[in-house]
Chain A
Amino acid sequence: MLQVDRISKRYGERVAVNAISFNVAQGETVGLLGPNGAGKTTAIAMISGISRPDSGAVSLGGVSLAQDTNALKRRVGLVPQDLALYEELSAWANLQLFGGLYGLGAAQLQQRAKAALALVGLADRSADRVKTFSGGMKRRLNIAGALLHEPDLILLDEPTVGVDPQSRNAIFDNLEELKRRGKTLVYTTHYMEEAERLCDRVLILDHGQILANETVAYFKQQYTNLEAAFMQLTGRALRDGAES
């Protein structure tokens, strides 16, 4: 479904992503794992159409990003790492904006927003301002905002960062439900247990390059568990660079 072919991105002298390639099949859940500064967020930005690759190509269902960005964007839902919400507005008003950006009409938007809020367990808080929500509720609403236009591919950039275990578990339930519905998920995280629980396949990135692209079962078989594989492949040196 998703084909990523040798995409690269450079910021000045620094190479953030260096000619990475991978494919994601329909209904598959793929985890992008890597230390800080590995290039995960930059890769997500290029796949979602936010950032233009310096070289290489991204295509979805055979349609190249370079040919028709908007057609590709309509089939992709992005859950950014930073909360993409207007805290002064209600949850409902936020969803109205996000649905409107994808051209949803009033009736369709109402139906989809209700469904998205129900999925993330916020149906009874739709009229409340986002600033009254807990961190976990904001994260769930952040996910709901990416589902309104019923994308085929959902890109999640560390969707559980900074939330308590209960909220993380709730988010995980949401993602598993999306997976059951046949959505294709590409997911970046630092939490190995999340990747083990959710992902069919894991790509380990470091220094802008893919170090491994295997199934979770493969990593468990070869390295005991995913964390051992991660540490062995990326090393134990501290990474204090900015996320990119």
Chain B
Amino acid sequence: MNTVAIRALIRNDLRLYFADRRAVIVGVLVPILIAAFFGRIFGGADQSGEQGKIPIAVVDEDRSRVSQAIAADLASDPLLQVSTSGRVTAREQVKSGKQNAAAVFPQGFGEQATKSLFSGVNKPRVELLVDPSQSTGARVIQGLLAQYSMQEISKEAFSGEYGRKTIDNYLQQLDKLEQTPLRTDLRSLLSAARTLNDRAAADAAAASSSGSSASNAEQHQFGLSIPYTVASTSVTARDNTPYNSYAHSFAGMAVQFILFAGIDAGVLLLLTRQRGIWQRLRSAPLSRSEFMLARALTTTLISLFQIAAIYVAAMLLFKVRMEGSWGAFIAVGISFCLLNATFGLMLATIGRSASTTRSLATMATLLLVMVGGAWVPAFVFPRWLQDASRYVPTRWAVDGLDGATWRGLPFDAAVLPTLVLIGSAAICLLIAIWRFRWEE
């Protein structure tokens, strides 16, 4: 083994890489900038489980106590960012994407909804104008609207003026009908509700006249509410450790731009073959395996430099932490860099012209990183794509890096991704060895 020649080739290729400042900037600075952008979009470094608020418009054409109370409830919900407007304005805002949805409470909504609570007929219609590109947000709004409507309408039924009128109306209708055991029981129930309503109204009036605050007056109102609360906890590496979306975006961008460096290495080799330097290399006492080894080691070293530089920036500037195992990070990182090196060699052996190879390889790489979850986490993909992405090595690289960082997984979790990456590297290497033309 001509180790002096291998060292000379590696040193030379590293010199060439660092002599090309554009390549260094593209390979290190650009992924940092793009990862910062994606990380910021997906929430940043200090998320306490609170997601971005969903913008909705409320159009209150009813102006009743019920509709106003529902609007107030929606406005106070941490998931929503509520603004009020007219119907025409709200529709335009949804159409232009400024609001995910608009809820329109029609005139008479409060009274009609209270009546319908008992009768189940002539239900008023709340119009929900939704942006079709924001269907997930629209479903959240529907759920919250149902919750707050039920809460406020039942409160009105048992404590408010519409409720009194409705119950009185029902009692009068019952008195006109023939008495049956069922109607007698229903009358008792409605009478009790009416008494409850009167007492609540009297207490509220007393509280109001004695100068108590509005919230005290509200304490005398009764209504139905969801009989449980939800405690939402982000399951990250450790309790009380918030999710840092930069951790994923840096993993994705590191994978993508290291693959780009692999393409550059392959194209450089193709270009070298077309230049006089190839004849000089071929005339030297250097074997095919020594040459390929030198190229693979150089690309591995450049890839390792890239991943190290990208993650140093991630840790220093974006609070990305190795919540899991450093060993896992190193194992996944090195195996991915090896894969990248053999990927570059393979490209150089199957490509014909440099420009065509670069174009096709870039397209394939973008597809690989997209399907591999480098841009957005794979769990947002449809199920079939999630399954398909398991056959893509970039998915294993991203998952392995995610596991070592924000997921906080132990070293064991990196074993399978590492093996998959090394196996993929072996396949690329075999193809490269099979196809590599050394003799002219």
The answer to whether A83 and B276 touch (CB under 8 A), given A50-B282, A51-B439, A78-B283, is yes
Whether A93 touches B12, Cβ cut-off 8 Å, given contacts A48-B283, A78-B280, is yes
A160 → B minimal CB distance (Å): 15
- Main DSSP-derived SS at the B contact region: helix
Q: Which of B241-293 contact A (CB under 8 A)?
A: 275-277, 279-287
A78 to B20, CA, bound (A): 28
Residue of A nearest to B272 (CB): A86
Q: Which of B16, B277, B284 contacts A102 (CB 8 A)?
A: B284
Residue of A98, A100, A105 ringed by the most chain B CB atoms within 10 A:
A100
Give the complex CA separation of A191 and B282 in angstroms: 27
Residues of B within 8 A of A101 (CB): 5, 8-9, 280-281, 284-286
B214 at the A/B interface (Cβ < 8 Å)? no
User: CA separation between A193 and B275, bound complex, in Å?
Assistant: 28
Within 8 A of B (CB), among A58-94: 69-71, 73-74, 76, 78, 80-86, 88-89, 93
Q: Find out whether the CB atom of A73 lies under 8 angstroms from the CB atom of B284.
A: yes
Shortest C-beta distance, B281 to chain A (Å), equals 7
Chain B residues lying within 8 Å of A145, measured Cβ to Cβ, are: 280
Asked whether A231 is an interface residue with its Cβ less than 8 Å from the other chain, the reply is: no
Q: Which B1-47 residues have C-beta < 8 A from chain A?
A: 2, 4-5, 7-9, 11-12, 15-16, 19-20
Is B440 part of the contact surface with A, judged by Cβ < 8 Å? yes
A76-B283, A84-B277 known; A99+B8 contact, CB < 8 A: yes
Please, how many angstroms separate the alpha-carbon atoms of A60 and B282 in the complex? 18
C-alpha spacing A105/B3, complex, angstroms:
11
A104 within 8 A of B: yes
- Chain A contacts of B16 at CB under 8 A? 86, 88-89
Chain B 159-173 interface residues, beta-carbon cutoff 8 Å to A: none
Contact among A51, A86, A100 with B8 in the assembled complex (CB-CB below 8 Å): A100
Chain B nearest Cβ from A135, distance in angstroms:
14
B285 A103 Cβ-Cβ under 8 A: yes
Interface residues on A, range: 35 or more
Task: Please state if B15 and A93 are interface contacts (CB–CB under 8 Å).
Answer: yes
Q: Establish whether residues A45 and B440, one from each chain, have CB atoms under 8 Å apart when the complex forms.
A: yes
Given A73-B283, A88-B19, A88-B20, A82–B5 Cβ distance below 8 Å? Answer: no
Instruction: Tell me if A49 counts as interface (CB < 8 A to partner B).
Output: yes
B12 x A96 contact (CB < 8 A): yes
Q: Tell whether, in the assembled complex, residue B276 and residue A74 are in contact, meaning their CB atoms are under 8 Å apart.
A: no
Interface assignment of A127: CB less than 8 Å from any CB of chain B: no
Tell me the bound Cα distance from A78 to B282 in angstroms: 10
Task: Tell me, rounded to whole Å, the shortest Cβ–Cβ distance linking A17 to chain B.
Answer: 13
Question: Bound complex: CA of A243 vs CA of B281, how far in Å?
Answer: 21
Which B residues touch A52, using CB under 8 A? 439-440
Cβ contact of A103, chosen from B4, B20, B283, cutoff 8 A = B4
Chain A residue contacts of B276, Cβ below 8 A: 80-85, 142
Does B277 contact A85, Cβ atoms closer than 8 Å?
A: yes
- Closest B residue to A151 by beta carbon equals B283
> How far does the Cβ of A66 sit from chain B's closest Cβ, in whole Å?
13
Contact check, B2 vs A103: say whether CB atoms are below 8 A apart.
yes
Contact B277 A86 (CB under 8 A): yes
CB-CB < 8 A to B8: which residues of A? 96-97, 99-101
Contacts of B279 in A (CB 8 A): 45, 48, 50, 78, 80, 82, 84
A100 to B7, CA, bound (A): 8
Q: Which residue of B is nearest A105, CB measured?
A: B4
| CB proximity of B343 to chain A, nearest CB, Å | 24
Across-interface contacts of B20 in A (CB, < 8 A): 88
Chain B nearest CB from A222 CB (Å) reads 35
Most chain A CB within a 10 A radius of its CB, from B276, B284, B286, B287:
B284
Query: Which residues of A are found within 8 Å of B11, using beta-carbon distances?
Result: 96-97, 100
Give the distance to chain A from B282, nearest Cβ to Cβ, in Å.
Answer: 4
Q: Which chain B positions have C-beta within 8 A of A103?
A: 2, 4-5, 285
Q: How far is the CB of B436 from chain A (nearest CB, A)?
A: 15
In the bound complex, what is the Cα–Cα distance between A105 and B4 (angstroms)?
8
Cβ–Cβ < 8 Å partners of A69 in chain B: 285
Q: What is the minimal beta-carbon distance from A235 to any residue of chain B, in angstroms?
A: 29
In the complex, the answer to whether B440 meets A104 with C-beta atoms within 8 Å is no
The contact of B285 among A88, A89, A102, by CB within 8 Å, is A102
Chain A proximity of B298: nearest CB distance (Å): 12
Give bound CA distance, A69 to B290, whole Å.
Answer: 15
Interface residues of A in 214-237 (CB under 8 A from B): none
Complex Cα distance, B2 from A69, in Å, reads: 14
With the chains together, A98 CA to B9 CA distance in Å? 9
Question: B5 — which chain A residues lie within 8 A by C-beta?
Answer: 100-103
CB proximity of B25 to chain A, nearest CB, Å = 15
Chain A residue at smallest Cβ distance from B279? A80
A238 CB to nearest chain B CB (Å): 26
Give the chain A neighbours of B277 by CB distance below 8 A. 84-86
Q: A48-B283, A80-B276, A84-B275 are in contact. Are A100 and B15 (CB under 8 A)?
A: no
Instruction: List residues of chain B with CB within 8 A of the CB of A80.
Output: 276, 279-280, 283
| Chain A interface residues (CB < 8 Å from chain B) | 45, 48-52, 69-71, 73-74, 76, 78, 80-86, 88-89, 93, 96-105, 142, 145-146
Q: What are 5 sample pairs from A and B whose C-beta atoms fall under 8 A apart?
A: A45-B440, A76-B283, A85-B276, A97-B8, A98-B280
Chain B residues with CB under 8 Å of chain A are 2, 4-5, 7-9, 11-12, 15-16, 19-20, 275-277, 279-287, 439-440
The 3 closest A-B pairs by CB, nearest first: A100-B8, A82-B276, A101-B284
Other contacts beyond A93-B15, A100-B8: 17, CB < 8 A = A48-B283, A49-B283, A50-B279, A51-B439, A51-B440, A76-B283, A78-B280, A78-B283, A83-B275, A83-B276, A84-B280, A86-B12, A96-B11, A98-B280, A102-B284, A102-B285, A146-B280
